[in-house]
Amino acid sequence: MLVIGVDEAGRGPLVGNVVAAAVAFPSGFTIDGLTDSKKLSENKREELYKQITGSCYWSWSQASSDEIDKFNILEATMLAMKRAIKQLKIEIGNSNELIEVLIDGNRCPDIENCRAIVKGDLTEPVISAASVIAKVTRDRQMIELDQAYPEYGFARHKGYGTKAHLEALENFGPIEGQHRFTFGPVKKLIRS
């Protein structure tokens, strides 16, 4: 049975995409140091990212800030996960092997043979690998956004509602197509 691990990054920030990644290990593959990506240093995540992308089947997808505003963050996360799983299945090819999908969290997207595991990124290495891919990909997106809008400090806070980000929002306003207008701190600014 082929096991696909899935995790996301970027549910909490006020800006940017929610990114989901899906990973499947080749037979017999092991990797040291995997855990929840938030518990790893940036350098360790980058090192693991190279190992995973060089040795495993993997994909990532996303739901945009506009989709987050349209559907809500939970539904947008499920959409990003479904997209990543679909892409990985295409990458793997027409395998007749039964596939089980393990999701970090307490809810599965609407797909077959799926099991949600709370704190799965701590207990299932294949989910931990997906966590690393999702986090590194989203962090890179925030660094790119920082280059376009350096006054917001996205490279430092990665879009979370830090004091510096909230001050930048007050001073410069939200960025159309990037900020999540349905999230409280952004919505509050629009109303005032």
Mean pLDDT of the chain: 95
Identify each DSSP E strand in 67-172 by its residue range.
Answer: 99-104, 114-117
Please compute the mean of the pLDDT values over residues 5-33 and round it to a whole number: 96
What 164-170 contacts at long range (C-beta under 8 Å, 24+ apart), as own/partner pairs, is: 165/14, 165/15, 169/14
* pLDDT given for residue 92 in this prediction: 87
The model's pLDDT over 65-76, given as tens digits with 9 standing for 90+, comes to 999 999 999 999
Distance CA 15, CA 11 (A): 10
Nearest to 80 by CA among 152, 141, 165, 39: 141
Helices 184-191 & 163-172 angle (0-180, nearest 10): 30
Q: Is the pLDDT at 82 greater than 70, yes or no? A: yes
* pLDDT given for residue 60 in this prediction: 98
The answer, as to whether pTM is greater than 0.85, is yes
How far from 15 is each of 29, 32, 151, 184, 191, CA to CA, in Å?
36, 32, 14, 12, 18
